[in-house]
Amino acid sequence: MNPKRERAASKPPIPRGTLVFDTSAYAPADRLDAWTDHLSRTFATFDFNVSTNTPFYGRLETLSLGPLKVNRGDCSAAHWARLGRHLSDGRDDYGLCVALSGSYRLIQGDVDVIQQPNSYTLIDNGKISNVYANSNGVDYDIVVPRAALRNTQRVRALSSPPILNVDANAMRLLGIYIDSIYNSEADFSDPLLAAKTGEHLLDLIIMGLQPTAEAAERARDRGLRAARLRSILTEIQNSFAEPSLGPAALAARVHVSESYLHKLLEERGLVFSRIVMELRLGLAVSMLSDPRYHLVGIGDIARQSGFNDVSYFNRCFRAQFGMTPRDMRKGDHAIPLDRLPVRDAVLPEP
């Protein structure tokens, strides 16, 4: 059993500062009305036609990040209809839908498509639309103010929404950035942190929609740099236990040059080799102190922690903690608090 794999397999937590709405708190007969009312206050007004006789279910997690709202949710199979009479609600912003699982049919203007998992669609809430969603789909819907996208070529030239096939590279970084938010321990009820995080998300969305030259330069300086740093740190967090992980291999995985990788880390006072060493030693400490690994050999723990040389592992462990792994396992010594690996410092907040 590997603690790192256990963490990776767990469902992303709900970020602090998230508003959670779940229809399970209501009587079955009241759930659809409660869901419709909640959506009209947090997203936009819709009619819902449920395609099942079972009690309606809906859950929506809303995280406010500056000018944006990130909604993650799922509900019973339904037809979402935003009709002409709904447009007077004043919600003429855009909804960037990021499909995580399942599929849905979208009709808006002269567009009629089936959207599959890992696709992105920018829907104009200022126009009539119809969405037919199945019951096993989960997605993010990012509410983006219309004014925020004025300096993007595709939105300015738009005559028949929605926008499909948003720039893949910008959206890949957007997905990584969203994942890092949902795996963060930060408190996004802090308005300054929420605003800065929303600014980075907005920059990535803008980059996916062919921004004007001025908007592109601003977005590259803020959003893309932040997202690429997140991409680097997330990949380190996920792969540090691989003995072959080095800066060149990591740079290739996240599609940047090795020199740019080091530059982004250095801007935050981080060093690749030190980050990886702290993570590996931290995993070794957690395994050595866990009764479930009492019968696992020191060599096996070293290899599972990312060290392919046991002697080197022992030297690094002694240099960091002033004792050998065997000493720690026997409980003969306590690790000084100032020498414990600082695990939370690996992923700095944006």
| Architecture, CATH, for domain 3-168 | Sandwich (2.60)
Do residues 41 and 64 lie in contact, with contact meaning Cβ atoms separated by under 8 Å? no
3-168 and 272-346 share one CATH topology?
no
Length of the chain, please? 350
Q: What are phi and psi of 301, to 5 degrees?
A: -65, -40
Select from 246, 278, 256, 250 the least CA-distant residue to 347: 278
Contacts of 283 (CB under 8 A, 6+ apart): 3, 4, 240, 241, 304, 305, 306
For the chain, 350 residues long, the average pLDDT of each consecutive 10-residue run is 41 84 93 91 86 83 92 87 90 83 83 82 87 78 85 58 69 80 84 86 78 60 72 85 91 86 84 90 88 88 92 90 85 51 44
How, if at all, do strands 104-108 and 111-115 pair? antiparallel
Name residue, tokens 């037809």: 79
Do residues 204 and 177 lie in contact, with contact meaning Cβ atoms separated by under 8 Å? yes
Q: Tell me, what's the pLDDT at 292?
A: 86
Select from 108, 179, 172 the least CA-distant residue to 140: 179
User: In 10 A of CB 233, how many CB atoms?
Assistant: 21
Q: What is the Cα–Cα distance from 131 to 112, expressed in whole angstroms?
A: 10
| Architecture, CATH, for domain 272-346 | Orthogonal Bundle (1.10)
SS (H, E, C) 251-316: HHHHCCCHHHHHHHHHHCCCCHHHHHHHHHHHHHHHHHCCHHHCCCCHHHHHHHCCCCCHHHHHHH
Do residues 185 and 348 lie in contact, with contact meaning Cβ atoms separated by under 8 Å? no
Do residues 96 and 124 lie in contact, with contact meaning Cβ atoms separated by under 8 Å? no
pTM of the model: 0.63
Q: Tell me, what's the pLDDT at 151?
A: 65
Cα end-to-end distance, the chain, whole Å? 32
Phi-psi region of 99 (alpha: psi -120 to 50; beta: other; left: phi over 0): beta
Contacts of 185 (CB under 8 A, 6+ apart): 16, 344
H or E stretch including 233? helix 225-239
Q: Estimate to the nearest angstrom the gap between the alpha carbon of 312 and the chain centroid.
A: 35
> Domain residues of the chain, as ranges?
3-168, 272-346
